[in-house]
Amino acid sequence: MNLTGREVVLGVTGGIAAYKSAEIVSRLRHLGAHVHVIMTKNATEFVSPLTFRTLSANPVVTDTFAAPEYWNVEHVALAKLAEVFVVAPATANILAKMAAGIADDMLSTTLLATKAPILVAPAMNTGMWTAPATRENIRILRERGVRMIGPDSGMLACGDEGAGRMSEPEAIVEEIGRILTGGKDYAGKRVLVTAGATRERLDPVRFLTNDSSGKMGFAIAQAARDRGADVTVVYGSVSVPLPEGVRLIPVESATDLMDTMMKKCPDQDVIIQAAAVADYRPEIRESEKIKKKGGDRLVLSLVQNPDVARAVGEIRKPGQTLVGFAAETEHLYDNARRKLDSKNLDMIVANDVTLPGAGFNTDTNIAALITRDGTEELPIQTKRKLADRILDEIIRLRKKDQSASD
C-alpha cells in the first residue's frame, strides 16, 4: 500500500489503548502518509503529546484552542486538510459527542467541521459498549456514514472479558488505506457468511454442539461490510456480540441452516461458510426431558446431518464464489483438498484446530488458503486480518473467473 502524501488526521482520546495509536502513526508514516494528531486532554494523561509529535514529525494539537504558535492556520484547518479522519481509540464519550454534535474541544470541533470520511476505532469497557446510550450513538453515527472498525473481543485492560478492545493498529491502518484508495472493493456485492455452532437437540433442554464462538465468521462479515458489501450472516450458537450493519439470520440446527441456505444462497455473489456444523444429530428428539432410567448407560443413536456446503455447491449459480472452512485435527491438507472438491468450493480455508492460537474461540487463527491454483500457508494473525486476506483472495479468484469468461 502506498499512501505517499496522503493527509491523515488522527484523533486520540483518553483510553488505555491510546498507546497503540503510536503504532498507527508509525505505520502510516512508513507508508508515506502525512499524519496530524489531535489529542483530547484525557488522552495526554495516557500518552505524552511528545510521543506523537516525534512519530508524526508534526505539531500535536491538544484540546486547547490555542494552536501551536508555529502552526499559523485557522483552528479548523485540520478539518479541511484531512483526507480521512480517524479516531483511535474512540471512547464512549467522543462517540456520544459526535452523535450529539457537541464541539467543546479541539478534537470534537474539528470532527464536527470535517467533510472527510471518518473512521472510528471504539475502545471501552464491555458494559459501556453495550450500554443503550452507546448502542444508540453507534446507530446514529453509522447512519450518517461514519465508518467503524472493531471493537475486538477479548481480555480488556479492566480485567473484564468481552467486546471493547480497540482493533489492532495493523487492521486500522489497512482500513485507512482502503478508504484512501477508494477500497470499497465489495461495493454492490452480496456476501453471505455462516458463523457459530449448530445445536442438535436431544430433548427440550439438552443438545449436542461444539466450541465455535462465531469470532471467525463475524470477523469475515465485519470485514466484508467495511469493504462495502451487502452482508447477510446466518449464525448458530455464538458467544460474542453480534456484528452490526449486517443482516442477521439466527438458526439452531444443521437442518435449519440447510433450509435458510437453500432460500438465501441463490441471490448471493459470495458465500463463505465458517460455521461449525454438526455432522450428526440425535436420531430421536425427545419431546420431554430425558429421565434417568435404570442402569448406568444411556446409548444415543445419531443420524447423519445434511452436508449444507455440498448442497450449496450443487445449486451454485454462475458467477458465485463459494468458500468453505476445514477444521481439522490431522491430515490438514489432504482432508481440506478433499472437501474443496466434494463440496464444489472455489477455496477452502484450512485450519488445524489443535494448534495454540488457531481454531475455536481464539482471537487469532493459523490457516492455509487452498484453491485449485495452489496452497498459501498464512502465519498466525488476528481473525479480522485473516478475514481481509480471505476477501482479497476471493477478489483475485473472481477477477480470474471474469477474465476467463471474457
- The contact set with ligand PMT (CB under 6 A) reads 194, 212-217, 254, 273-277, 279, 305, 307-309, 324-327, 339, 351, 353, 359-361
Nearest distance, CB of residue 325 and ligand PMT, angstroms: 3
* Shortest CB 59 distance to ligand PMT, Å: 43
CB of 215 to ligand PMT, least distance (A): 3
Do the Cβ atoms of 190 and 232 come closer than 8 Å? yes
Catalytic: 265? no
Size of the chain in residues: 406
Tell me the sheet residues that pair with 12.
39
Residue 177 or 359 with smaller CB distance to ligand PMT? 359
- The three cell numbers locating residue 231: 452482508
Q: Are 182 and 83 in contact (CB under 8 A)?
A: no
End-to-end CA distance of the chain, in Å? 29
* DSSP string across 210-235: ----SHHHHHHHHHHHHTT-EEEEEE
Nearer to ligand PMT by C-beta: 25 or 240?
240
Q: How far is CA 391 from each of CA 106, 224, 246, 379, rounded to the nearest angstrom? A: 37, 7, 16, 16
DSSP character at residue 237: B
Report residue 57 as a C-alpha cell: 514529525
The nearest distance, CB 107 to ligand PMT, in angstroms, is 35
For ligand PMT, the closer of residues 130 and 209 by Cβ is 209
Q: Rounded to an integer, what distance in angstroms lies between the CA atom of residue 124 and that of residue 160?
A: 11
Instruction: Give whichever of 6 and 339 is closer to ligand PMT, judged by the CB atom.
Output: 339
Q: β-pairing, 84-90 with 118-122?
A: parallel
Is the CB of 107 or the CB of 221 nearer to ligand PMT? 221
Catalytic residue among 158, 284, 300, 303: 158
| Smaller CB separation from ligand PMT, 149 or 326 | 326
Q: CB within 8 A of 209, min separation 6: which ones?
A: 197, 198, 199, 200, 237, 278
Strands 84-90 and 7-12: parallel
Residues noted as catalytic: 158
